[in-house]
């Protein structure tokens, strides 16, 4: 992906001419051109319905920046506080600059094969337990017409994913959410059932998603800090987590030996990670998910 040097949402860099047609005829008339502009009504509605605060959601960026500081590959390694996020300028209410993901040129590669063939591989296997792909709300065109706009596709995907995988939210040790914005992480974790509807703000701000917490999220730093490849880098991160081979600043990480010291510039390996989940996002109406296990 060349999200920095070529097509950029901010309008700089080379862009192909895209004809305005279909739903875009409506969206652009109301200023809904960028992802932040299109998704912000969903975020605002959640704040209105449940009292969610920008400070609670800013904790997502703070946690992911902590994880990125222990990642040699991360684009942004500086640890940020909730106050840092809230002090950054507003891009599109309620999104501050630091609520938004990084734009990068980068690439990922994933090999999927049978479990039998994987036994002969150089690394320990990470087994796929269940998937839910391109699941949508009842209306894919204007999701505001079907159900609360603060509910996203994960609410429907979980009805496929959990039964097919044979596990539930409480069984998951580490998550990887599509964090195009801090709010997308919160909404997905909530609607996939990691907490009750309306409690997402508390879930992401009480330490649960940080390394050393109950269920760390985006241990590489995610889209907010590591790099942006439409969720695939978090699949790679969770694969490495399950293998015990996360590349961090532990002296012997290549042998799978970690200190589990999550202080600045050290480890980001989750201790005894057995089951991981990836939460994919296209927009509030569409999403995919993946469960893997060791």
Pick the closest to residue 84 from 69, 66, 62 (CA basis): 62
For residue 44, what are the CA distances in angstroms to 50, 93, 204, 215?
A: 10, 8, 17, 26
Question: For residue 21, what are its two tokens?
Answer: 């047609």
Residue 290: in which H helix or E strand, if any?
strand 286-293
Distance CA 294, CA 278 (A): 14
Distance CA 77, CA 85 (A): 15
For residue 149, what are the CA distances in angstroms to 13, 77, 254?
A: 33, 34, 45
Bridge partners, residue 17, by sequence: none
State the catalytic residues: 178, 228
- Count helices and strands in the chain by DSSP H and E runs: 10, 6
What 3-state class would DSSP assign to 68?
A: helix
Bridge partners, residue 181, by sequence: 100
What 3-state class would DSSP assign to 61?
A: helix
For residue 132, what are the CA distances in angstroms to 117, 162, 193?
A: 24, 9, 15
How is residue 269 annotated by DSSP? P
């Amino acid at each position: 992906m060349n999200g920095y040097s070529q097509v950029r949402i901010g309008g700089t860099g080379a862009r192909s001419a895209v004809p305005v047609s279909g739903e875009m005829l409506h969206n652009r008339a109301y200023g809904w051109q960028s992802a932040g502009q299109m998704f912000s009504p969903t975020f605002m509605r959640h704040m209105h319905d449940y009292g969610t605060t920008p400070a609670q959601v800013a904790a997502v960026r703070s946690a992911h920046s902590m994880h990125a500081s222990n990642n040699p590959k991360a684009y942004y390694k500086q640890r940020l506080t909730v106050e840092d996020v809230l002090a950054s300028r507003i891009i599109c209410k309620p999104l501050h600059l630091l609520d938004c993901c990084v734009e990068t040129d980068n690439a990922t590669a994933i090999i999927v094969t049978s479990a039998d063939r994987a036994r002969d591989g150089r690394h320990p296997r990470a087994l796929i337990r269940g998937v839910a792909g391109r699941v949508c709300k009842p209306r894919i065109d204007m999701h505001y017409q079907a159900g609360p706009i603060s509910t996203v596709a994960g609410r429907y995907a979980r009805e496929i994913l959990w039964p097919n995988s044979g596990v539930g939210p409480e069984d998951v040790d580490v998550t990887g959410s599509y964090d195009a914005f801090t709010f997308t992480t919160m909404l997905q974790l909530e609607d996939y059932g990691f907490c009750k509807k309306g409690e997402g703000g508390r879930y992401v701000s009480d330490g649960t998603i940080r390394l050393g917490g109950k269920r760390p999220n985006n241990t590489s730093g995610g889209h907010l800090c590591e790099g942006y490849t439409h969720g695939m880098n978090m699949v790679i991160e969770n694969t490495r987590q399950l293998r015990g081979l996360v590349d961090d600043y532990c002296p012997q990480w290549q042998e799978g030996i970690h200190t589990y010291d999550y202080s600045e510039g050290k480890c980001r390996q989750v201790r005894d990670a057995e089951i991981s989940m990836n939460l994919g996002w296209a927009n509030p109406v569409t999403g995919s998910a993946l469960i893997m296990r060791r």
